[in-house]
Amino acid sequence: MLIRNLHFFIFSFSLMVLANSFQFANAGANDPNRYALPNNKVDIPICEKEALLLHPGTINQLREYRQNGVFVLQIEITPHSGPDVSVLCDSKTGKIIQTENKQ
């Protein structure tokens, strides 16, 4: 009797886990914007474009952090000529705040 109850418990638990995982797997299947960037990340491509317009080259690194209540993107660029450049961009407006050469 104990073995039968144990088998029933394992089967019930497995069925519950399977049903829940299927529910979560299909949670956003009908959402057309499921691959859209979150609101605080929308301006990353704009910041990258602005930084590369100022300093044509290759983006090495992209960091996001908060500075004085504003989310700022730090974009490290290796330009086609000259030393590496660090560009700070306001992620809310997409405007370049500061540029400095790396040594």
At residue 1, the 3 state secondary structure works out as: coil
Contacts of 92 (CB under 8 A, 6+ apart): 43, 70, 71
**Cα(67)–Cα(4) distance, rounded to whole angstroms?**
61
Give the residue with greater pLDDT, 102 vs 35.
102
For 39-101, CATH number? 3.10.450.40
Compute the mean pLDDT over every residue in the chain, rounded to the nearest whole number.
77
- pTM value surpassing 0.85: no
Domain ranges of the chain: 39-101
Is pLDDT at 24 greater than 80 in this prediction? no
Which residue do the tokens 């609101």 mark?
A: 39
> 49-97: per-residue pLDDT in tens?
999 999 999 999 999 888 777 788 999 999 988 899 999 998 888 889 9
Q: Say how far residue 5 (Cα) sits from the centre of its chain.
A: 46
**Exposed, middle or buried, 51 (CB in 10 Å: 0-12/13-18/19+)?**
buried
